[in-house]
Structure 1
Amino acid sequence: MLRFLARLVVGLLLFSLLWAGAYRFVDPPLTYLMARDALRGESVKRQWVDLDDIARHLPRAVIAAEDARFCSHHGFDMEAIEKAMERNREGGRLRGGSTISQQTAKNAFLWPGRTMVRKGAEAWFTALIELLWGKRRIMEVYLNVAEFGRGVYGAEAAARHYFDKPASRLTRQEAARLAAILPQPVKRDAARPGPYTRRYAGRIESRSRVVANEGLDACLWR
């Protein structure tokens, strides 16, 4: 039994390594959430585009909103994790310290959930993509598989769905609104944002200027 379990673990590790390595060059064809929506009979909108075909305002906006130290950490923002743990211990609203790299690993390879097994798999895939892909590819995959609304996946589909334009023509304000709906993409609307989403998008827009001015997105551009 121990020998079988050892072989199973080694096999899973090798499979995950090959899977992550393949996605360095091959665009992920499907994610768990896309498959879920398709099985429910919902229309899935998605069109893969290269990072160079997405307005720089959008990656800057998601860095401003989700992960200000994206270019400087190695997949895990220990400072953000410590702050989240402190808030949780103090009884504040439960929040994680999830980086863009972790979210990309979850979206591309895994399923939603908070079990130890799922979180452990997320940490493993995060380490793999940081090692095998690099920051530019991580951001490219993230912006192409992230959920931006019911059945709307990726920056190109989101730009066309909400603003009737390609992702390459997004303005700073539009990019900030898309970043603002990422935490709750089904409940929020980038085209007709409610008061909270509008204010949040305004803060993201201001922060995205800082990201650009201070070069916090420098790892993305050749």
Structure 2
Amino acid sequence: MAIARSRGTLARFFLFLIKTAVALVLLSVLWVFAYTLLPVPVTATMLMDEKGITKDWEPLENIDRNMVRAVIAAEDGKFCSHDGFDREAIENAMKRNAEGGRIRGGSTISQQTAKNAFLWQGGGYFRKGLEAWFTLLIEKVWGKRRIMEVYLNVAETGIGTYGVEAGAQRYFNHSASSLSTTEAARMAAALPLPKKRSVKNPGGWLARHGNTIRSRIGVVGRDGLDACVYE
């Protein structure tokens, strides 16, 4: 009898786990579908920001194409050709990290969007696993244009500042609809560390990095590396 009760308890426990997993999967799918058309109202990163939140959602058609090309040039040159994961970049990052020194990532814009919109900052295998799942979902459900639109609206662009519209207003006193190549490149250069990297007055390596991104904006346009965003 004791063995039978034990097996029954174990079976109920596994059934509970299965039901919970199915419920979480369905919830995540519904969440992604909800953001297909609705602006992302707030993110975990925003809520945990002690400096507050300044943001202004703008549809992609109101964001200068220079900004789209700048983030592709700076963050993810294969954005239009990968399925959400740049396996070569991931492998290279793993090799560099194995050698020691500063930890480097191989995240694509799709992965960063998944993390920013649905999850939290920081590492860990559990969070990375969730990030992979949400990356697969947004690639299938949203497509490249919506991924780029969400990315440019939720990415941290400065202290307590989120989205390129709020960033453009803060740094250049005008809308993101009319960004020069220099302005877009400087914002893109600061994106990985927006609380530490200066946009208005970059110097040294950061200024050179911004100039490199600015020159690559032309390459992105010439080679149609942003074409999937505007199909």
TM-score range (shorter-chain normalised) is over 0.9
1:14 to 20, 23, 26: 26
Q: Distance in 1 between matches of 2:34 and 2:83?
A: 20
Pick the structure with greater CA Rg: 2
Matched residue, 2:121 = 112
Superposition pairs of residues 168-187 of structure 1, within 5 angstroms: 168-187=177-196
Q: Distance in 1 between matches of 2:129 and 2:165?
A: 31
Q: Distance in 1 between matches of 2:113 and 2:94?
A: 22
Write the letter of the residue equivalent to 1:103. Q
Matched residue, 1:76 = 85
Percent sequence identity is: 57
The range that moved more, 158-167 or 112-121, is: 112-121
Instruction: Quote the offset at 1:93 in angstroms.
Output: 3.3
Return the TM-score normalized by structure 1: 0.96
Matched residue, 1:197 = 206
Write the letter of the residue equivalent to 2:19. R
Instruction: Quote the offset at 1:90 in angstroms.
Output: 2.9
- Residues 89-145 of structure 1, C-alpha deviation per residue, up to 9 Å, x if partnerless? 233532111000000000000001211110000000000000000000000000000
Q: Distance in 2 between matches of 1:99 and 1:162?
A: 26
Q: Work out whether residues 46 and 52 of structure 2, in 8 Å CA contact, stay in contact via their aligned partners in 1.
A: no
Write the letter of the residue equivalent to 2:40. P
Superposition pairs of residues 35-184 of structure 1, within 5 angstroms: 35-37=47-49, 40=50, 42-184=51-193
Q: Which secondary structure does the structure 2 equivalent of 1:148 belong to?
A: strand
Q: Which secondary structure does the structure 1 equivalent of 2:48 belong to?
A: helix
**Structure 1: runs of 5+ lacking an equivalent:** none
Q: Distance in 2 between matches of 1:92 and 1:186?
A: 22
Q: Which secondary structure does the structure 2 equivalent of 1:28 belong to?
A: coil
* Count of paired positions: 219
Q: Distance in 2 between matches of 1:100 and 1:4?
A: 35
**Structure 2: runs of 5+ lacking an equivalent:** 1-12
The range that moved more, 122-131 or 203-212, is: 203-212
Q: Distance in 1 between matches of 2:178 and 2:122?
A: 34
RMSD in angstroms over aligned alpha carbons? 1.0
- Residues 139-189 of structure 1, C-alpha deviation per residue, up to 9 Å, x if partnerless? 000000000111110010000000001001110000000000011100112
Return the TM-score normalized by structure 2: 0.92
